Amino acid sequence: MGIFSRLGTLIKSNLNDLISKAEDPEKMLNQVLIDMQNQLVEAKKQVAVAIADEKKLRKQADDEKKKADEWERKAILAVKAGEDDLARQALGRQAEHNTILAQYEQQWQMQKAAVDKLKEQLRLLNDKIEEAKRKKNILVARQKRAEAQRAIQATMQGLSDTSAVDTFSRMSDKVDQIEAEAEAETEMGQVAGQIGAGDSLDSKFKQLEGAKAADDDALAALKQRMGLLGPGGKAPAQLTAHDEVVEAEDVKK
């Protein structure tokens, strides 16, 4: 029996814990305030009924007082008229109404005390409701603040998770690799440009040499026509400047 008792207690505590977790404080407080407002409405109705009963008793007591006074007036009138028996009867009626008046007065006093007490309780209930409203606003603000702190804490825990750290580390290594590859490609491009420039320079010199050889051949042919070159395209061994001028004039002729 002890085991089953402990098991029942454990199950009950777990159920209470689940119920507690499932409760939304803001919704629960709103519902409590609604219930208190309904109670206040019912209490006002009861107080209104009690006040009406008190006023009714007061009116009945006043009516009995008027009737007693009226029979007293009649008794006085009978005495003045010499009708003592009639006066006794009138005084008897007055006594009856005074008795009823006393009962009404007693009931009215009790009812008035009850009404005053109900009014005080109604005022206290209204004050409690207003206080509950203020507390509800404070509790809801505390709840929202706690929920925000919990959400921030959960986010921070997620950021400090090993998987998240590993992901950032892996992505950092990947970015480093991409940057290194980009720098290597840039450097290779520069080397290829330099190699291409060397080939171009050599080609320019070859073209220049080819052009110079063609110019030399043209110049040699011109000199051959001018007779400035000897046989085999060579210049005479001894040829003065004067002879060159004379020979040039002969060629012109």
Task: Identify the H or E element spanning 130.
Answer: helix 84-159
Q: pLDDT band at residue 95, thresholds of 50, 70 and 90?
A: very high
| More confident position, 170 or 204 | 170
- 8 A C-beta contact, residue 100 and residue 71: no
pLDDT of residue 29: 83
Q: Encode pLDDT of 219-237 as tens digits.
A: 777 777 777 766 655 555 4
Q: Which residues of 98-124 are buried (b: 16+ CB within 10 A; e: fewer)?
A: bebbeebbebbeebbeebeebeeebee
pLDDT of residue 79: 93
Residue 93 to residue 97: CA distance in whole angstroms: 6
Q: Encode pLDDT of 148-179 as tens digits.
A: 888 888 777 766 656 666 777 888 888 888 88
pLDDT of residue 96: 95
Q: pLDDT band at residue 102, thresholds of 50, 70 and 90?
A: very high
Burial of 232 by CB count in 10 Å (0-12 exposed, 13-18 middle, 19+ buried)? exposed
- 8 A C-beta contact, residue 41 and residue 130: no
- Both tokens of residue 168? 């950032």
Burial of 142 by CB count in 10 Å (0-12 exposed, 13-18 middle, 19+ buried)? exposed
Q: Is 76 helix (H, G, I), strand (E, B) or coil?
A: helix
Instruction: State the chain's mean pLDDT as an integer.
Output: 78
pLDDT of residue 39: 87
Q: pLDDT band at residue 89, thresholds of 50, 70 and 90?
A: very high
Read off the pLDDT of each residue in 13-23 and give the average, rounded to a whole number: 51
Instruction: Count each helix (H run) and each strand (E run) in the chain, helices first.
Output: 5, 0
In order, the DSSP letters of 169-219 are HHHHHHHHHHHHHHHHHHHHHHHHHHHHHHHHHHHHHHHHHHHHHHHHHHH
Read off the pLDDT of each residue in 48-73 and give the average, rounded to a whole number: 95
Q: Encode pLDDT of 109-144 as tens digits.
A: 999 999 999 999 999 989 988 988 888 888 888 888
Please count the CA atoms within 13 angstroms of the CA of 241 that sit on its side-chain side.
0
| More confident position, 159 or 180 | 180
For the chain, the residue count is 253
Domain boundaries, the chain: 23-160, 163-228
Identity at 157, one-letter amino acid code: Q
